[in-house]
Copies of this chain bind each other. A is one copy, B any other.
């Protein structure tokens, strides 16, 4: 994983630069600095650079600006999503709308979004700007679908996968596509890398859902079973539900009047018995393999190892 370590080291000054928010009034800049400093995997900017490395050796200013833009945009969505979802914690710390207030978190998010476009304006590439806009539009649509699904009794696997494609995968697709285009990829190859990003995103989210029920608290860093308690209609849930007979469904529904521990234990056993656990892992694996296939078949003139190592890292994660 030496190359990946190098990639993250290369990113550090660019990340430090966006964490630093010297503007005034401080009240609107501090929450931006705060959310950006909470950390996270910085996987999105790393993907921009890794895609660029498929075509170029030395980074350009432009590719660093796009790397900054995607990390800022990701954090903008976190700032606003945390308000919409009423989340008290983010990476173990108070969310911005709790630490300050909702009005501040809304406004700081709006400003962060403008800063994203400042970075994109620095690049001055209208094609990339348009691709970004199309991606950002889909992401908003995905967030609305996600919120609406919470009020919906049954969500098909098809609808669920399309929602996580919009909410999670399109941004990863954009990261690779934009990095590749800036490196000089043909639009055909950039499109393949977009698709690769979609596969990674779908696999990533399916694993996220899996770990939410079957991960280890110590590794995942949060309480296990949240999705189960909320009856979240994930692929994992659907695969269980659709394979329960009427009696099994009744049992599951009744279980929700018991303790949280009892609910989680019962539903996890059903996810196991019905094969939902295995089929979710298989689905995640299937997308992960598709992403590797795309990369293997790609004719690139540069170094594939950066992106290969990102795929390995994501495939082997336990958190």
Copies of this chain, whole number:
2
Interface residues in A102-119 by Cβ distance below 8 A to B read 102-104, 106-107, 109-111, 113-115, 117-118
CB neighbours (8 Å) of A103 from chain B are: 83-85, 147
Indicate if A126 sits at the interface (CB-CB under 8 A): yes
Shortest distance between the CB of A155 and any CB in chain B (Å): 13
Check if B129 sits within 8 Å of A121, measured CB to CB. Answer: yes
CB neighbours (8 Å) of A140 from chain B are: 28, 107, 110-111, 114
Check if A25 sits within 8 Å of B148, measured CB to CB. Answer: yes
Given A83-B106, A106-B80, A110-B80, does the pair A28, B141 have CB atoms closer than 8 Å?
A: yes
Interface string of A214-254 (1 = CB under 8 A from B): 00000000000000000000000000000000000000000
Shortest distance between the CB of A153 and any CB in chain B (Å): 17
Give the interface segment out of A42-50, A130-138, A169-177, A281-289: A130-138
CB neighbours (8 Å) of A22 from chain B are: none
Check if B130 sits within 8 Å of A114, measured CB to CB. Answer: no
Shortest distance between the CB of A108 and any CB in chain B (Å): 8
Closest 3 CB pairs of A and B: A84-B103, A28-B144, A111-B140
Interface residues of A (CB under 8 A from B): 23-25, 27-28, 80, 83-85, 102-104, 106-107, 109-111, 113-115, 117-118, 121, 124, 126, 129-130, 133, 136-137, 140-141, 143-145, 147-148
16 contacts between A and B (CB under 8 A): A23-B141, A24-B141, A25-B145, A80-B110, A83-B102, A84-B103, A103-B147, A107-B144, A110-B110, A110-B140, A111-B141, A114-B133, A114-B140, A118-B133, A121-B129, A121-B133
